[in-house]
Copies of this chain bind each other. A is one copy, B any other.
Amino acid sequence: MRGEIMNTEVDSKITDSEWEVMRVVWAQDNVTSKEIRKVLEQKKNWKPATTKTFIGRLVKKGMLHTETEGNKYVYSTNITENEFIKSTLNETFDNICNKDVGKTIVDLISKSTLSFQDIDRLEKVLEMKKKDAVEEVPCTCVPGQCNCKDDNCSSKH
């Protein structure tokens, strides 16, 4: 943490395909192109050239760093998978009315497989949340993109 600003927001947009590449890098920390290609040839049936394209684009975007080793590169990243996931989900939730976030998370939990420990942690964070829970979540949607403001909208949420 040598004095850099710790920016939580991952600004780079990446595509689904690029995400596949990133997952290999996150899982292995320092990887060669060959290792990435092997994994994704398995999973996605990508030709080596295809994977190379995505790697190249990620380097150009600054998501991957390269360290020369002989004639090849070893790839790595300084963006953590967790930060990236949070950032991606944030963007999705930007498209959802704040009032609906709770229900959306309920749905999410419903269809997920969770461990006892997960449930424990979730209960704990909910306990914390009670401290700053509100009576009614304020809607910040623009008028016309949500019917919260029509009346008090309680029937809808």
Q: Which residues of A contact B (CB under 8 A)?
A: 16, 19-20, 23-24, 27-28, 35, 38-39, 42-43, 82, 85-86, 88-90, 92-93, 95-96, 98, 100-119, 121-123, 125-126, 128-130, 132-138, 141-147
Count of this chain's copies in the oligomeric assembly: 2
Does A145 lie within 8 Å of B106, measured CB to CB?
A: no
Which of chain B's residues has its CB closest to A31's CB? Answer: B144
Secondary structure type dominating chain A contacts: helix
> Are the C-beta atoms of B27 and A145 separated by less than 8 Å?
yes
Set B43, B115, B123: member contacting A135, Cβ < 8 A: B115
Could you tell me the distance in whole angstroms from the C-beta of A7 to the nearest C-beta in chain B? Answer: 16
A142-B110 in contact (CB<8A)? no
Q: Which residues of B contact A141 (CB under 8 A)?
A: 23, 27
- Measured between beta carbons, the chain B residues less than 8 angstroms from A117 are 102
- Which chain B residues border A89 with CB–CB below 8 Å? 89, 92, 104, 108
Q: Are B133 and A116 in contact (CB under 8 A)?
A: yes
Besides A89-B89, A90-B111, 18 other A-B contacts (C-beta < 8 A): A27-B147, A28-B144, A39-B145, A42-B142, A85-B100, A86-B111, A89-B92, A89-B108, A93-B108, A101-B118, A103-B121, A105-B108, A106-B125, A110-B129, A114-B134, A115-B133, A115-B136, A123-B123
